[in-house]
Amino acid sequence: MKRLSIVASAFVALALAAPARAQGPGSGGDPVKGKVVYERYCLSCHGELGNGAGEFAEWITTKPRDYRQGTFKWRSTPSGSLPTDADLDKTIRDGIYGTFMPTWYAIGEHNRRDVIAYIKTFSARWKTDKPQPSIVIPAEPPYSDASVKRGRAVYEKSNCAQCHGQDALGDGPSAHELKDDWGNPIVPYDLTQGHIKCGDTGSDIYRVFITGLNGTPMPSFTDSISPEEAWDLVHYIQSLSALYPKNYGPAAAK
Partner 1 sequence: MRKVLSTALSAALLSVLSAVGSAYEVITVTNGGTVQGVVKLVGQAPTVPPIKTTKNQDYCGNSIDNPLYVVGKDGGLKNVEVFLKGIEKGKANPTATITLLNTHCMFDPRVQGSSTGQQIKIASDDPILHNTHPQNNDTNATIYNIALPFKGFSVTKPLPATPELIRVKCDAHEWMRAWIWEFDHPYYATTDADGHFEIKDVPPGTYTVVAWHEVMGQKDASATVAAGKPVTVDFSFTPKK
- Rule CB under 8 A: choose which of 91, 147, 220, 247 binds partner 1: 220
Q: How far apart are CA 242 and CA 171, in angstroms?
A: 21
Question: What is the spatial distance between Cα 249 and Cα 44, in angstroms, rounded to a whole number?
Answer: 44
> 127: exposed, middle or buried (C-beta count within 10 Å: 0-12, 13-18, 19+)?
exposed
The torsion angles phi and psi of 177, rounded to 5 degrees, stand at 65, 15
Catalogue the long-range contacts made by 202-210 (C-beta closer than 8 Å, 24 or more residues apart): 202/140, 202/231, 202/234, 202/235, 202/238, 202/247, 203/137, 203/140, 205/234, 205/237, 205/238, 206/137, 206/230, 206/231, 206/234, 207/74, 207/75, 207/76, 207/135, 207/137, 208/74, 209/160, 209/233, 210/135
Region binding ligand HEC by CB under 6 A among candidate stretches 14-22, 55-63, 121-129, 142-150: 55-63
> Can residue 192 be called a binding residue for partner 1 (CB under 8 A)?
no
We find the least distance from the C-beta atom of residue 88 to ligand HEC, in angstroms, to be 5
Cα dist from 75 to 65, 198, 203, whole Å: 14, 10, 11
Query: Is 24 a binder of partner 1 (CB under 8 A)?
Result: no
Q: Is 149 in the site for partner 1 (CB under 8 A)?
A: no
- Counting contacts by CB under 6 A, is residue 240 touching ligand HEC? no
- Residue span 29-68 as binding mask against partner 1, x where in contact by CB under 8 A, dash where not: --xx--x---------------------------------
Identify which of residues 18 and 242 has a Cβ nearer to ligand HEC in the complex.
242
**Which among partner 1, ligand HEC, none contacts residue 45 (Cβ within 5 to 8 A by kind)?**
ligand HEC
Q: Please identify which residue in 45, 135, 210, 240 interacts with ligand HEC, judged by CB under 6 A.
A: 45
Q: Measured from the CB of residue 220, what is the shortest distance to ligand HEC in angstroms?
A: 10
Specify the stretch interacting with ligand HEC by CB under 6 A; choose among 1-9, 18-26, 128-136, 189-197. Answer: 189-197
Angle (CA) 18 88 130, round 5° = 80
Q: Quick check: 204 and 193 in contact, CB under 8 A?
A: no
Q: What is the C-alpha separation between 78 and 220, in angstroms, rounded?
A: 8
Return residues touching partner 1 (CB under 8 A). 31-32, 35, 69-71, 78-80, 121, 124, 127-129, 157-159, 162-163, 173-174, 176-179, 181-183, 212, 214-221, 223-224
Return residues touching ligand HEC (CB under 6 A). 41-42, 44-46, 56, 60, 62, 64-65, 72-74, 88, 91-92, 96, 99-101, 104, 115, 158, 160, 162-164, 174, 178, 186, 188-189, 191, 196-198, 205, 208-209, 213, 216-219, 221, 233, 237
